[in-house]
Structure 1
Amino acid sequence: MATDDLSELLDTIDMPSWMDREGISYRLTHGRSGQQINVRECPTCGNTDWKVYVNADTGVGNCFAGSHPVEERIFTKYRFIRDHLGRPHGSKVIEHIRAYAREQGWRPARRQSVEVERHVGWELPQHIDLPHEGRNLAYLENRGITADLSAYFHLAYCPRGAHFRYPTERGWAYQDYSARVLIPVFDMEGKLATFQGRDVTGHAEKKYLFPPGIDGSGVHLFNGLNVHDTKRIVVGEGAFDVAAIKIALDADAQLRDVVPVGTFGKHLSSGSDNSQLAKFLSLRERGVEEVTFMWDGEVQATDDAVEAGLMLRQHGFRVRIAMLPPEKDPNEVPAEVVRRAFYGATLLKGASAMQLRMSRRIMNSNK
């Protein structure tokens, strides 16, 4: 676990409450630095003469018994908890801290999106950025996409009458984006590259609209701009698959470093500097080492993930294939199913490629 992650967990620990939970004898006093906890037994030296004083807010304190080395007399929250537990391996201490923090309602903070650039040579349809005055779109909330996630993905809503204007040989043409979620797609540096419009009424002839005259989504990685300071990514297909994966990852502190991206289809474009393969290679330069494919639970999707994964292996990536339930997308299953698929993903090698294909066929035939 990264140091800042552990610091966030420790910040949630209320020491008096934690001591109550652990059955530690203490009494509260007041000192120059605020409320102090006077602890009966030192967790380090075992002295039981009420010689330990710890700040109730920070957890910083001292043992004045004098029966252990000077450097061990000073406590932090982590050191006090560790010694109380009997000095187990650090991972055991962190798991104890995490469990208590969750009992208190802690949830891991989401990664923040990088700054984006929307000023390009064309204009988006008229839209309302989300959340708007603190309110999110009901359609998104019903899919588990909160206001914070709408902001993270820079989602917007196109009201009635919103159009995309684009040039043709006969002059300007217009594409109607009324009552659609606007899904912007940015390049790897955060510059607007293209967009999609998802119908929210359920009555439109086309569920998704794509703007003519500019790059198609298939050469980009959705959310690729937010891949930084990580070695691990998960590859979904569409924008809402990526959102579902992110929701699942955000609920597990051990997966906070993993960033989901989307390929807008079950294959990787290649052959040019503007291809998806080129963008994966740029992610490798940013430090990404491991790629987990989490396309849907179809036979063809698994075959395609294996093929794409073998391509990335040739370029030095460690590739894993996650197996979702038959015929299910990440946004069609509970978050715990997504996490279970991630943790149980199979490392892709020459021998495992055929095994993965066969496993998918067996899974789907038995559904």
Structure 2
Amino acid sequence: MKGYIPEDRIEEIRNRVNIVDLVSEYVTLKKAGRNYLGSCPFHKEKTPSFTVNAEKQIYHCFGCGEGGNAFSFLMKINSMTFPEAVRHLAGKLGIPLPAREFTPEEKGHQDLREILLRVNHLAAGYYARAMRLPAGTRGKAYLEKRGIKPEVIETFQLGYAPEGWRNLRDHLQREKVPLKQAEQAGLLVSRKDGDFYDRFRGRLMFPIEDVNGNVIAFGGRIIGEGEPKYLNSPESPLYVKGRNLYGLARAKNAIRRDETLIIVEGYFDLLALWNHGIPNVAATLGTALTREHVDLIKRYTGSVALTFDADTGGKAALERSMSLFLERGLRAKAVVLPDGKDPDEFISKHGKEAFLEEIARARALVDYYIDEVIGQGTNID
């Protein structure tokens, strides 16, 4: 049967998994008598009420009522299906499962996806190492100038693409990567003579991850003079820009804990919030919000705080996103920062508490639109 997982394998996983170890990957637990205690990852609380029982291999939150076993914990925290949770735990425990059956077309697509993920993984490692070498001094200095903390740099695997046309190309070739596949990943560009050169050169590099933490694309910011200021990977079998939000993979637990997602536009808006201890944030990277974005957000929260520019373009984007949030039943707030500042500028000048106050006092998106756009007769065509 296609995709069937034998019941005895599921039972073996259930018996071998250690729920304390599993939950500890997401929650800081402390021994409390026979149980372990921590702050619930599924709702915001001041007093820890999330307990894990090692003997019974279950968890329960006395605050929000969430509870279950290792499978249900993974399904809830990572928005997985039951088979996905089973296969994830089987992989961690080294328990073999029957391979899922694919059609020839699906098999080809899956094989290409795995190849491109490996290429991107190698590239992310290369860029991160390059920034620690003399060739990456400019990238490191730029991040220091922007005040980005080392732990934030490490969390987001920030790196540097050195000047030169063949640095990554030659590295991937040494790693036995077919260069044509590196081109498919958007990392290399083909030349007329059939050879390839690096797409990203002299740029600070931002790996873009899917919700499972796989690197699917990159963004690069030029250091010094040059255009374009920001360069993103082209769309590929891995990456469709209207379906991904930068930073969401790293924010999932904080979004559930704080019960809201803050949406910003740029890389440095997001990094600045992380710098100040606000991790429940994702960035659109200048892309208009899509139905796919909103459906993705809805997997983790029903509440959104949307930061946007107060100019005409920002108001037009507000109207488009408002209809999507209403259509999908999400609560959305419009966060307009004073003096037209973006989140990076505002929080760097005024600090975390002032930013959170702006979030708290923000009006519902519909109310803002009625008052500020329709009420003032703004022409957004």
| TM-score interval (norm. to shorter) | 0.5 to 0.7
Counterpart mapping for 1:180-259 below 5 A: 180-201=203-224, 203-212=225-234, 214=236, 215=239, 217-229=241-253, 230=256, 231-248=259-276, 250=277, 259=280
Q: Deviations over 1:321-353 (max 9, x none)?
A: 10023443222222435334222211123x542
* 1:267 alignment counterpart: 288
Q: Kindly tell me: are residues 127 and 236 of structure 1, through their superposed partners in 2, closer, same or farther at Cα, counting changes over 3 Å?
A: same
2-structure distance, mates of 1:324, 1:340: 11
How many residues align structurally?
A: 242
2-structure distance, mates of 1:335, 1:121: 41
* 2:358 alignment counterpart: 341
The SS at the match of 1:227 is helix
* Aligned-partner residue type, residue 146 of structure 1: K
Q: CA deviation at 1:221?
A: 0.3
Counterpart mapping for 1:286-297 below 5 A: 286=300, 288-297=301-310
The SS at the match of 2:123 is coil
* Aligned-partner residue type, residue 235 of structure 1: I
Q: Which structure has greater helix proportion?
A: 2
2-structure distance, mates of 1:240, 1:149: 11
2-structure distance, mates of 1:268, 1:169: 37
1-structure distance, mates of 2:240, 2:359: 29
Counterpart mapping for 1:25-64 below 5 A: none
Matched, 1:301 2:314: yes
* 1:353 alignment counterpart: 369
2-structure distance, mates of 1:339, 1:314: 27
2-structure distance, mates of 1:228, 1:238: 18
The SS at the match of 1:198 is strand
**8 Å CA contact 1:298, 1:328 repeated in 2:** no
Q: Kindly tell me: are residues 149 and 137 of structure 1, through their superposed partners in 2, closer, same or farther at Cα, counting changes over 3 Å?
A: same
Which one has more relative contact order, counting CA pairs under 8 Å at least 6 apart? Answer: 2
Matched, 1:151 2:154: yes
Which stretch of the first structure deviates more once superposed, 323-332 or 233-242? 323-332
Q: CA deviation at 1:305?
A: 2.3
1-structure distance, mates of 2:234, 2:299: 32
In structure 1, list runs of 5 or more residues that go unmatched.
12-89, 95-113, 251-255, 270-276, 363-367
1-structure distance, mates of 2:230, 2:368: 36
**8 Å CA contact 2:305, 2:335 repeated in 1:** yes
User: Which residue, out of 280, 299, 302, partners 2:294?
Assistant: 280
The SS at the match of 1:228 is helix
The SS at the match of 1:120 is helix
2-structure distance, mates of 1:121, 1:127: 12
The SS at the match of 1:140 is helix
**8 Å CA contact 1:296, 1:330 repeated in 2:** no
Q: Kindly tell me: are residues 151 and 360 of structure 1, through their superposed partners in 2, closer, same or farther at Cα, counting changes over 3 Å?
A: farther
In structure 2, list runs of 5 or more residues that go unmatched.
1-23, 31-44, 49-77, 79-113, 169-186
Q: Kindly tell me: are residues 218 and 173 of structure 1, through their superposed partners in 2, closer, same or farther at Cα, counting changes over 3 Å?
A: farther
Q: CA deviation at 1:355?
A: 1.1
* 1:329 alignment counterpart: 342
* 2:109 alignment counterpart: none
Q: CA deviation at 1:192?
A: 1.3
When normalised by structure 2's length, the TM-score is 0.53
Higher Cα Rg: structure 1 or 2?
A: 1
Matched, 1:124 2:140: no
* Aligned-partner residue type, residue 281 of structure 2: P
1-structure distance, mates of 2:287, 2:358: 18
2-structure distance, mates of 1:206, 1:282: 29
Q: Kindly tell me: are residues 121 and 332 of structure 1, through their superposed partners in 2, closer, same or farther at Cα, counting changes over 3 Å?
A: same
**8 Å CA contact 2:270, 2:281 repeated in 1:** yes
* 1:310 alignment counterpart: 323
Q: Kindly tell me: are residues 157 and 144 of structure 1, through their superposed partners in 2, closer, same or farther at Cα, counting changes over 3 Å?
A: same
Q: CA deviation at 1:210?
A: 2.6
When normalised by structure 1's length, the TM-score is 0.55
Q: Deviations over 1:86-129 (max 9, x none)?
A: xxxx98x99xxxxxxxxxxxxxxxxxxx9xx9843556385234
2-structure distance, mates of 1:325, 1:359: 20
State the percentage of identical aligned residues.
21
2-structure distance, mates of 1:127, 1:143: 19
